[in-house]
Amino acid sequence: MFRHASRGLGLLICMACICGSLPAQTEKTISIHIYDGKTGRPLASSGYQVRVDHQPEIHSNWVTENEDGSGTLVVPKGATLLSIRATYEDSMYLYINCDSTVGGPKAADQWYSISEILTTGIVAPNNCGKPKDAAKIKIAAKPGEFVFLVRKLSTKEQWRE
């Protein structure tokens, strides 16, 4: 009886050693950064609205906000595309993303490849302001980073909102 118990215990120890040496499944994360589309200055957000794979649900709870206003998104398993907008609850200004070619608060969401963000990083297009001014803003993204630019809504756009 003691022999069987010691063999079983030995087998369990061997299995634990083998399983312990396997690489752990790590969560994939994306670092999110926001810049002003006209000045190129970093901006802080009060929160993020994340959508994946063209689904209508907004997942604000997937992003952890950092002290500098950037965010860290834990990528949900199986997700391939994402769209991100920032929120500014405590700001006196309202902002919209600059990645749409059609301006205004009702601009369509733009979708980005999660695998591309993880492997090379993405800086979303800057369609805010004049093209020559937008071209002056030089921002680079590292692998795992998603950078997007925003602009303040005009008074007229805020009034319509």
From 45-59, 86-100, 115-129, 142-156, the region with the lowest mean pLDDT: 86-100
- Which of the 8 DSSP states describes residue 109? P
Q: What's the mean pLDDT when you consider all of the chain?
A: 80
122-123 and 112-113 beta bridge pairing = unpaired
Domain covering 27-160 assigned CATH 2.60.40 in the classification: yes
List all residues 6 or more positions away from 14 whose beta carbon is below 8 Å from its beta carbon: none
Percent of the chain with pLDDT over 90: 35
> Structure pTM?
0.77
> Which tokens is 122 given?
């993405």
Contact indicator for 34, 148 with CB cutoff of 8 Å: yes
pLDDT tens digit sequence for 45-64: 878 889 999 998 988 888 99
* pLDDT for residue 142: 96
